[in-house]
Amino acid sequence: MNEQELIAGLKKISTSISLFLATIQMPYGCCFVFGHALAEGLSQAGFETREVSGTLILADKNDRKIIYGSKKYKGKNVGDFHTWCEIMFEGKVIIVDPSLFFNQLYLKREENIKLNQKIPEIYIGSVKDSWHLTYIEDPTLVCHSKDCLKGTVPWLVEHLIKSVNETGKLMKYGK
């Protein structure tokens, strides 16, 4: 498998998870579910992964920075933390974050904040710091992600992990 095939497979998995969570109406604050299910399922499928929590910095429509994670934007709390998955592939770290669409939706609907149109709905790439999108790991925020995960219906998380695992095995082994 080459990097393009990996990214195509990760997009397929990410889109599938996004559609499932949208269907059961769990769009806001679901990054911890995405990050955990992807890291766990892909790890079980034989990939080297990490579940990462920290801060996500996004650019609004005027390119002002919105810090999603324990900071305020125009006096509003726009999130306490963010969680994503990292996969190690051929010496590179690839960020997998299918929850950006839900971040955009939340910020627009609940906070009346419009993000820069260059921010993708799903991010899969090796660049952690760009003008429109920045990921900053903060190990002190992992406990918040894990606490939120404990409050999630167990069958949901198990279903997502199993789904990611099965698709990940197909990607890795072609079976």
Cβ(94)–Cβ(6) under 8 Å? Answer: yes
Tokens of 55: 């801060």
Give the pLDDT score at 126: 93
pLDDT tens column, 57-83: 888 899 888 887 655 656 566 777 899
Give the pLDDT score at 30: 81
| Alpha carbons 117 and 13: distance in angstroms, whole number | 23
Report the chain's terminal Cα–Cα distance, integer Å. Answer: 13
The lowest-confidence range among 12-26, 71-85, 111-125, 126-140 is 71-85
At 159, the amino acid letter reads H
Q: What is the pTM of this model?
A: 0.90
Domain borders along the chain are: 3-173
Given pLDDT bands bounded at 50, 70 and 90, which one contains residue 171?
confident
- Say which CATH class 3-173 falls into: alpha beta
Contacting residues for 147 by C-beta, under 8 A, at least 6 apart: none
